[in-house]
Amino acid sequence: MATVVELPRLSDTMEEGVVAKWRVQVGDKVKRGQVIAEIETDKATMEFESFDAGTVLALVAVEGQTLALGAAIAVLGQPGEDANAALAARSSVTVLPAPTPASSSAPAPAPAPVVAPKPVEASAPAPSPTPAPVEPTHIDPNERRIAASPLARRLVREHGLDLAAITGTGPHARIVKADVDRALAEGTGKLAAPGPGPAAAQAADEADAWGRPYVARPSEVIKPSQMRKTIARRMTQAKQDIPHYYLTIAIDMDAAAKLRAEINLAIDSNKVSFNDMIIKAVARSLRDLPDMNTVMVDGQVVRHGDVHVGVAVALDDGLVVPVVRYADQKSLEAIALEVRTLGKRAKAKQLKPNEMSGSTFSVSNLGMFGIDTFSAVINPGESGILAVGAIEPRAVVVDGQLAIRKCMNVTLSGDHRVNDGARGAVWLARVKTYLETPIKLFSDPTPVGSPAAPG
C-alpha cells in the first residue's frame, strides 16, 4: 500500500517548515534512509531522510511552500498505485482539485495533488454562499464577508495578498490554505502597488541645495524566513513572560590577554579566543553558584544539575544558539574546538536539533562589532544570558596610579522570578574573578553546591 510521507519535527521549537529543495522526482526509487528533501526549519535547513522505501508516486509539497507539522509532502509506493487514494485514506487531510496553470486557457490536471489539513477547515462553520463579485478595489484581508478559513486569512496577511483576488475551492467556494499557496506559486492575488500619495508628491516638489528633486521610493513587503518567525515569537514570549533585571560590570582583561597569548604560542592549532575563556568562566561560575542555574517551569523553580552554555551565532537572516554541553567540565582547548566547529556548521545551516537544544544559560558577544555595552534577551527555558562587549584599552587606576588596561563590559540579564539582583551581582563578581585571574580556570572545579569562592 502507498505510504504518505509527512513533514516531521526537526527541531524542538519547530511548528511549521518549508520544503526548500526536493532531492528526488516522481518515478525515482527511494531507499530507507535516503535523503529526499531539504527542509527549512526555524533554526536551519536540514536534510530529510525517508523512513520508508518505494517509488515516488507524487510530490505533494511545492518547493518554498510553508507547511504545518504532519502535513503530507510526498507519496511513496509501488509503481501504478494511486497516490490520491493514499492521500484520501488519511483521516487528517482532504484532497482538493489541483489548480489550473496560469499559462493555460483550459483546465488541466496538475501532476501532484494539493493537500489541506482537515482540522483547520473543520474548526470554522461553513459560511453562507459566496458573496457577489467584488469590485477590483483593495479589501482588508480581515474583511469578514469574504468566506475564508482562519489559516488562509493569516497567510494572506503575512504575504501581503488581496483576499478578494483569490478564488476559493473549499466548501461553498471558501478560500482555504491551498488556494493561498496556489496564489503564491502563481504570483497572483498581490495587492496593487499604491499610487503616489501626499508624501511622494511632497518629495517630488522638494529639492536639495543643488535643485535636484528628491525621489520617493516605495516600501517593500519582505516575507520572513522560518528562523525570523521563530525569533519574533520566542523573543516576544521572553519579554512578556520573563521579568528581566540587568547588571553591568567592567572586567580587566590584561591577564586574560597575556595567558591567551601564551596558550596559543604553545599549541599548533585550535587557537583559544577570548570568547572561549568567557564561556569557561561563565560555566565555572554557574557550577560554583548553582542557584544561578535555575529556571521557572510551570510555577516551579527547577535547578539544573548540568551546565550547558549556548553560544549565539549571527547569521544573515537571524541567529542560532548552538550548545556547548557540560561546559563546566570541559577544558578550555576542548571548548575552543567545539565552539569553532559548531560556529562553522551553524553558518552553513548544518546543525542537528540536539546541538541547538538543552542550553541552561547563554553568552552573546557583540564585541567584534565594536559594541561596548548592550543588554540581551533571555532565551525561554534558560536562567539568564551574558552580553559581552568589546575589549578596548581604557585609562584605569591601578594601585593608586593611572594605567592603560584592556577592559570590557559584560551585562547579565537575569530572570527576576528565580533570583534577585544581589545574587546576580555575586555571580557576576565570580565571573570577573575568573577572567581577571584566569589561571583559576585551570584548577579543579568547585564541587556543586560548595559556597567556597574561587581563590
Residue with cell 546576580: 424
Residue 5, class by beta-carbon neighbours within 10 Å (0-12 exposed, 13-18 middle, 19+ buried)? buried
Secondary structure element (H or E) that encloses residue 246, with its range: strand 244-252
Label the pairing between strands 361-365 and 384-388.
parallel
- CA dist 3 → 84, 208, 433 (Å): 11, 66, 60
The grid cell for 272 is 583559544
Task: State the Cα–Cα distance between residues 384 and 221, nearest whole angstrom.
Answer: 34
Q: Residue 416 catalytic?
A: yes
Strands 35-40 and 3-6: unpaired
CA dist list (Å): 147 to 68, 87, 218, 229:
22, 25, 31, 27
User: Whole-angstrom Cα distance, residue 4 to residue 17?
Assistant: 17
Beta bridge partners of residue 30, listed in sequence order = 54
**Distances, alpha carbon 8 to alpha carbons 155, 166, 220, 228, in Å:** 21, 29, 33, 20
Which of the residues are catalytic?
416
